[in-house]
Structure 1
Amino acid sequence: MSTRWYPIYQRGNPQLRIFLPNFWMKLVQPSPKQLPNIVHFQCSMEMTKYDIRNYLEKIYSIPIINVRTKIALGKFRKDVGRGYVVKDDDIKYAFVTLPKDTKFKFPDIFEKAKDTDDDHLKSLEEAKKSFRNYIDRNKDRSDVPSWFSI
């Protein structure tokens, strides 16, 4: 991986340095539907196709057929406060092709949230029903304050 910048050697022992990877990859859900054996990543700009292949094969033991990369240009926009033209950072995308028999399905991380929404709706309906019962019990007693109930 020729794009890494390693810290300069320092004299003395022990060498109190930790080598952490300078690369990162983020799994992204593609906007157009893709074949089930193609995975879409957002990665650091310094990574080459060979770096991406080695990263996935060596660290995650994923068999890879092909890697294609694309650099998306950052948007130009006007700064709200000063009126300057500002350019967002460019983004590098990697399209990784897996073997034909391998199928990748993007994980549905909001599946659990759908179940909890049903529970919230049920509890809301119960609260509305109890409030209606409270109103119906005290509708004939307009002279009594609301905090004083039967």
Structure 2
Amino acid sequence: MPVVKEGLKKLYFPSTVLKLVRNGPNVPAVSNTLTFRVPPSMNKFDIKSYLSNIYKINVLTVRTANMPAKLAGYGGNTILKRQKFKKAIVTIDEEFKWPDAPDSATFGIQDAVNERSRMLNRLKGWRMRPSHDIQAAKAAEAAEAAAKDAKA
């Protein structure tokens, strides 16, 4: 098993999660600075060894900041707080560009919208009802059939 040389912890199978988040509005989209949300227990050496050994990223500098818990709202008689975390700003040796946002049609958002409408239709009664387009087409066919019967 590999033993990490830097950092205070031995890193065999990582159980911690480093979440890559978008930089602030003042940082350009293409830069060599990455921002991560990390657990408060990780230090700079652990973050550098994690990124260099697991993801093979050449890390130049690591800056960290402890972010306090924030008030999220009120739930009944209790005050809800968001969990505190540590923000790590990592500088790497090559430029990083965020990928473009996925198209909603290919990403499956439209399928989720369709599934929601099917579920809402299902809740209206005991049977599945056809969509409004199909109902309108059937109503038009029935009107045409009634008009033919009236002429005959």
Please indicate the TM-score interval, normalised by the length of the shorter structure: 0.5 to 0.7
**1:132 and 2:136 equivalent?**
yes
Compared CA separation, residues 30 and 114, structure 1 to 2 (3 A) = farther
Unpaired runs of at least 5, structure 2: 1-6, 114-130, 148-152
Query: How many Å apart are 1:77 and its aligned residue?
Result: 5.1
Per the TM alignment, residue 80 of structure 1 is displaced from its structure 2 partner at its CA by 1.9
Residue of structure 1 in register with 2:82 after alignment: 88
> Sequence identity, in percent?
26
Deviation at 1:38, TM superposition (A): 1.1
Give the one of 22, 44, 52 matched to 2:47. 52
Alpha-carbon shift at residue 92 of structure 1 (Å): 0.6
* Equivalenced residues, count: 119
Match of 1:29 among 22, 26, 31: 22
SS at match of 2:83: coil
| Code of the aligned partner of 1:136 | A
- The whole-number CA distance in structure 2 between the counterparts of 1:119 and 1:85 is 37
Q: Which has the higher strand share?
A: 2
SS at match of 1:139: helix
* Residue number in structure 2 paired with 1:103: 95
* Consecutive unaligned residues in structure 1, runs of 5 or more: 7-18, 122-126, 143-150
With structure 2 as the length reference, what TM-score do the two structures score?
0.60
Q: 1:92 to 1:131 in 2, by over 3 A?
A: same
Alpha-carbon distance in structure 2 between the residues aligned to 1:73 and 1:43: 13
Distance in 1 separating the partners of 2:50 and 2:76: 41
Q: CA deviation at 1:90?
A: 1.1
* Whole-angstrom distance in 2 between the partners of 1:106 and 1:132: 45
SS of aligned partner of 2:95: coil
Question: Please, what TM-score do these two structures have when normalized by structure 1?
Answer: 0.60
Q: Which moved further from structure 2: 69-78 or 48-57? A: 69-78
Cα distance in 1 for residues equivalent to 2:103 and 2:79: 42
Post-superposition CA distance 1:100-132 (Å, at most 9, x none): xx2212345x615333567899xxxxx665543
